[in-house]
């Protein structure tokens, strides 16, 4: 079945550091890929997405590129801020089943000033 | 535009009881999905409803059930609660055309 594996946390960085959170997937066909973020006490918010190979999703300084050859969708940000502290989830959905997401285990990110 | 609303936000039950959670989707969204979030298993898909019909179901026992009403509001029910059912239950709604899922803040269930 489909699955998502992401880098285990927690990850602690200093403000303005470079961030990478690794995500790889296993899926049949051509899934859509997502990064969701969960701030303390809140639900999930979509951070960015990509729907086909070589697409780059970007939002709020975060980027991720859909790499079919390596089945990866790594999240990057050039300069993190304290406000980026949250739990980040990589996820995929099958075509035509956008409502059924398969999530990675989540990576807790803490940014220190 | 109001977001996805889930009630109650917090509740405590004891083993063997049952619980009903409610979700009001964003206006105009007819698809509602439910997810369970636990520290051990992470986020897992429970089921999805569209126009009052269950379209997809995750790998959960029959104690977990749901329904959707004509106004798109959805409820999920867990019967004969077990300690392992303690979790954050998240509801998400989906627009009529392709787009992202919008999640509510969740209902945190504690089973004692």
Task: Inspect the interface and report whether the beta carbons of B100 and A49 lie closer than 8 Å.
Answer: yes
Instruction: Work out the average pLDDT over A68-97.
Output: 92
* DSSP code at position B80: S
Mutate to test the interface with A, among B48, B53, B101 (most CBs of A within 10 A): B101
Task: Inspect the interface and report whether the beta carbons of A99 and B33 lie closer than 8 Å.
Answer: yes
Please choose, from the candidates B34, B22, B32, the residue with its C-alpha nearest in 3D space to the C-alpha of residue B58. B34
Residues ≥6 apart with Cβ < 8 Å to B10: B107, B108, B110
Give the residue on A whose Cα is nearest the Cα of B50.
Answer: A99
pLDDT for residue B1: 61
Nearest-CB residue to A105 (from B42, B45, B56): B42
pLDDT for residue A44: 92
Distance CA B112, CA B106 (A): 19
Distance CA A20, CA A77 (A): 7
Distance CA B18, CA B109 (A): 11
Distance CA A66, CA B2 (A): 32
CB burial of residue B108 (10 Å; 0-12, 13-18, 19+): middle
B56 interaction partners in chain A (CB closer than 8 Å): 97, 99-100
The answer to whether B4 contacts chain A (CB < 8 Å) is yes
Residues in chain A: 113
- SS3 track for chain A: CCEEEECCCCEEEECCCCEEECEEEECCCCCEEEEEEECCCCCEEEEEEECCCCCEEEECCEEEECECCCCECCEEECCCCHHHCEEEEEEEECCCCCCCEEECCCEEEEEEC
Q: What is the dihedral of CA B65, A41, A9, A63, to 10 degrees?
A: 90
The answer to whether B90 contacts chain A (CB < 8 Å) is yes
pLDDT for residue A46: 92
Could you read off the pLDDT tens digit of each residue along chain B, which spans 112 residues? Answer: 679 999 999 999 999 999 999 999 999 899 999 999 998 889 999 999 999 999 889 999 999 999 999 999 999 999 999 999 999 999 999 887 666 889 999 999 999 9
pLDDT for residue A96: 65
Instruction: Work out the average pLDDT over A29-43.
Output: 90
Inter-chain contacts counted by CB atoms under 8 A, chains A and B: 53
Task: Inspect the interface and report whether the beta carbons of A98 and B98 lie closer than 8 Å.
Answer: yes
Please determine, for residue A25, whether its predicted confidence score (pLDDT) is greater than 80.
yes
On average, the pLDDT of chain A sits at 93
């Amino acid at each position: 079945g489909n699955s998502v594996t992401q880098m285990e946390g927690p990850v602690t960085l200093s403000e303005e550091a470079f961030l990478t959170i690794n995500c790889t997937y296993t899926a049949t066909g051509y899934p859509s890929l997502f990064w969701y973020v969960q701030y303390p006490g809140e639900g999930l918010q979509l951070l960015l997405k990509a729907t086909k190979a070589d697409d780059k999703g970007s939002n709020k300084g975060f980027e991720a590129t859909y790499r079919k050859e390596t089945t990866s969708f790594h999240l990057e940000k050039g300069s993190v801020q304290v406000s980026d502290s949250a739990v980040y989830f990589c996820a995929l959905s099958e075509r035509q089943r956008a409502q059924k997401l398969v999530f990675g285990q989540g990576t807790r990110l803490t940014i220190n000033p | 535009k109001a977001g996805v609303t889930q009630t109650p936000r917090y509740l405590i039950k004891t083993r063997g009881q049952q619980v009903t959670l409610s979700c009001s989707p964003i206006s105009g969204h007819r698809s509602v999905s439910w997810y369970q979030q636990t520290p051990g298993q992470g986020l897992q898909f429970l089921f999805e409803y569209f126009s009052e019909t269950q379209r997809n179901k995750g790998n959960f026992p029959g104690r977990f059930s749901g329904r959707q009403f004509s106004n798109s509001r959805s409820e999920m029910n867990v019967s004969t609660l077990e300690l392992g059912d303690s979790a954050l239950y998240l509801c998400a709604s989906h627009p009529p055309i392709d787009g992202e899922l919008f999640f509510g803040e969740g209902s945190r269930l504690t089973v004692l």
